[in-house]
Amino acid sequence: MAGQGSIRDGVRERLERALEGMIEVRDLTGTDNHFEVRIVSAAFEGKTPIERHKLVYAPLLDWIEDDTVHALSVRAYTPEQHESLTKEKRS
């Protein structure tokens, strides 16, 4: 467990240590155990969706295993993908 801090902060800290890039963690249910993470990182370049998810799961495996993190939705983008998504939204 993450001591007195929220699990959400713990998730973000662990991800920040593991992956370089833009990281956002949302608490989906207000219960601090269902999260959506959005990550933009060059680490995802050339990786399949399965490989990208595994990179995100890796630093959180023990929390997924013991149900500290009950549900985790992952949006993993490369900087290039993120750029084109942002453009789409603007136009």
In whole angstroms, give the CA distance from residue 90 to residue 37.
Answer: 22
Residue nearer to another protein on the CB measure, 22 or 71: 71
64 is a contact residue toward another protein (CB under 8 A): yes
84 is a contact residue toward another protein (CB under 8 A): no
CB of 55 to another protein, least distance (A): 13
50 is a contact residue toward another protein (CB under 8 A): yes
Rounded to 5 degrees, φ, ψ at 17 are: -70, -35
Please give the size of the binding site for another protein, defined by CB under 8 A. Answer: 13
Extended beta strands in the chain, E state: 22-27, 34-40, 71-77
